[in-house]
Amino acid sequence: MSPQFRCPCCGYKTLTAPASMGLCPVCWWEDDGQEDADARQVRRTANGNLSLVEAREHFAECGAAHPSFLSHVRKPEIYER
Ligand SMILES: [Zn+2]
């Protein structure tokens, strides 16, 4: 199954289903269903102490949802844009 859903953090199409705890390979955000409406909330689930807003800021700055994830992430593929 090819990814068709956009990661709420980095915006690339890396997820095969929305809000299904998929781990985005481009930014390392785990999609627990958090979206724009509650982006500032820290859910303390899969993403630890990261809110979606913070993760997006980190991605804009360093290319991962958190600097400690940098060794895990990869560049987006063309078909994921
Ligand atoms: Zn992502």
Query: 34 CA distance to ligand 1 centroid (A)?
Result: 12
What is the pLDDT confidence band of residue 26, given thresholds at 50, 70 and 90? very high
pTM confidence score: 0.93
Residue scoring higher pLDDT (45 or 55)? 55
CA pair distance 81, 67, nearest whole angstrom: 22
Query: 49 CA distance to ligand 1 centroid (A)?
Result: 17
Query: 65 CA distance to ligand 1 centroid (A)?
Result: 7
Q: Which residues lie closer than 8 Å to 8 by C-beta, 6 or more apart?
A: 29, 31, 34, 35, 36, 39, 52
What is the pLDDT confidence band of residue 45, given thresholds at 50, 70 and 90? confident
- Mean pLDDT for the stretch of residues 22-50: 95
Query: 13 CA distance to ligand 1 centroid (A)?
Result: 8
Residue with tokens 């600097």: 67
Query: 15 CA distance to ligand 1 centroid (A)?
Result: 8
